[in-house]
Structure 1
Amino acid sequence: MTRPIIGISAYAEQARWGEAWDLPATLLPQAYVDSVAAAGAAPVLLPSVDGAEDTVARLDGLVLAGGGDIDPARYGADAAERTAGVRTARDSAEFAQLAAALERGIPVLGICRGMQVMNVARGGTLHQHLPDVVRSEVHRQRLAVFDPHPVKVAPNSPLARVLGRTVLDVPTYHHQGLAELGRDVAPLAWTDDGIVEAIAYTDRPQVIGVQWHPEMGDDPSLFAWLAEQARDAASRR
């Protein structure tokens, strides 16, 4: 059987490689690509350019990857002091990619920033710096390290069925989180401090978002779920 094609939204950043190159680049941590490929799908990087509907028309599934903060103007807020890494072109591309995926009926997995995009797209809002809210650094403990923290998943939820458990330690690295939930956005998991760690769209059973980074852990179940859903989507066309 032909492998389903899963697009992964990519970063647009200045990057250095080789002996001399220092240029604007489209890039993505290799763990995303490896996780999608290990699940039996064909990964494709999606740059931050116009024309998302044309790209998504060729996909069987979509991963909205982690990254910098979303422009707070998208949820009606001014930028706070700690908000950083805003990339307008990436915001525009990912919101368009999500809209096109929903219109086409293909599965979506949002990871960290990707889950936040899912919430903001439905009219939700974000906490711009979680330590100001929860008074701890549990969600981003060390610079550039995906430290684990515990998460509790709603029993009998779509996520619990995918993961096969309701209590787990997850690799995490984020300083923002969901505040008000958007339209038809259901919370599926939480940390002990009450921050929402996973969501689904109640009107779209093939859409799940998690605040943690499954690509940095040892549980492939979310990528296996996405690949299975993508195969089903491909077979219906």
Structure 2
Amino acid sequence: MSLPRIAIPARLSDAEGADARVGLANAIFDDVAALVRAEDLDVVVVRTADLAGFDGLVLPGGGDIDPARYGGDVSAPCYDVNPAQDELDLDITAAAVAAGIPILGVCRGLQVLNVAFGGTLVEDLPGGHVPGADETGGLEWTWHPVAVSAGSRLAAELPTATVSVASGHHQAIRDLGAGLIATGVAHDGVIEAVEHPELPIVAVQWHPEAEGTPLALASAPFAAFADLVRAHSASVLRG
């Protein structure tokens, strides 16, 4: 029996000579794919929004979404704004929602989902917010606690209600997209996880693939996603 096929949109920015954070995002792309494969799912890197034959979508980390996409401040200090990446990620998200296939978002992936559902972002978190990028440009993880909502898909895969996670982002959700609910929050109020109660969607702002993350915590979002994929595949087979 073939494994469920999971699409991951390629990262389109070349790390050569670019902001060092682009190189980091490109490097951990493979780590995200490895965690998907660990759930007995087949990973296919794609460059179009055609999801025919796919059973799920994973939206990985990367640069900042163009603030113009959500009516934000286009003069804000953003990095690696790539119109082609925004188009691919948002188009493939719309295709997955239309097809009803499960979606997992990680860091930028959570932000893409929020914007796709009409939400907005904080363009640049002020100093003092626990997930903010440090003075090295976000190349070191910031570890901090997140409270995960009881009864959420994510909580079902976690050993405790509060977990210590690794973050490296300077943006966050400002206004939640329509239908999305916050299922994980840092102590400063930054939304760190979202789900959709009616659609097979789960996303985290932190980086479960970060080195030093315990296996149970690293695998939790991917296990929740895998459950959604298998439930969706079973419903398709039942017709």
Same fold (TM over 0.5): yes
1:212 aligned onto 2:206 = yes
Matches within 5 A, 1:98-137: 98-131=93-126, 135-136=128-129
Aligned residues: 220
1:86 to 75, 78, 81: 81
Question: What is the CA distance between 1:160 and its match in structure 2?
Answer: 1.3
CA–CA separation in structure 1 for the residues paired with 2:40 and 2:121: 34
- Specify the code of the residue in structure 2 equivalent to 1:160: A
- Provide the TM-score with structure 1 as the length reference: 0.85
- Provide the TM-score with structure 2 as the length reference: 0.84
Matches within 5 A, 1:156-167: 156-167=151-162
Partner of 2:232: 233
Matches within 5 A, 1:133-172: 135-136=128-129, 138-141=131-134, 142=136, 143-172=138-167
Partner of 1:11: 11
Of all paired residues, the percent bearing the same amino acid is 37
8 Å contact kept, 2:73–2:123 = no
Specify every segment of 5 or more residues in structure 2 that has no aligned partner in the other structure, as ranges: 17-25
Partner of 2:175: 180
Moved more, 223-232 or 103-112: 223-232
Moved more, 38-47 or 136-145: 136-145
TM-aligned CA distance change 1:113 to 1:190, over 3 Å:
same
Specify every segment of 5 or more residues in structure 1 that has no aligned partner in the other structure, as ranges: 17-25
CA–CA separation in structure 2 for the residues paired with 1:183 and 1:231: 26
Per-residue CA deviations over 1:22-67 (Å, capped at 9, x if unaligned) read xxxx9862201211111111111122x4xx1x2x122111111110
Per-residue CA deviations over 1:143-196 (Å, capped at 9, x if unaligned) read 322332110111222321232431001121100000011211111111110111
Partner of 1:31: 31
TM-aligned CA distance change 1:192 to 1:80, over 3 Å:
farther
CA–CA separation in structure 1 for the residues paired with 2:182 and 2:131: 20
Partner of 2:19: none
CA–CA separation in structure 1 for the residues paired with 2:189 and 2:124: 15
CA–CA separation in structure 2 for the residues paired with 1:167 and 1:137: 15
CA–CA separation in structure 2 for the residues paired with 1:138 and 1:105: 31
1:74 aligned onto 2:69 = yes
CA–CA separation in structure 1 for the residues paired with 2:78 and 2:167: 18
TM-aligned CA distance change 1:27 to 1:168, over 3 Å:
closer
CA–CA separation in structure 2 for the residues paired with 1:119 and 1:97: 14
- Specify the code of the residue in structure 2 equivalent to 1:139: G
8 Å contact kept, 1:172–1:212 = yes
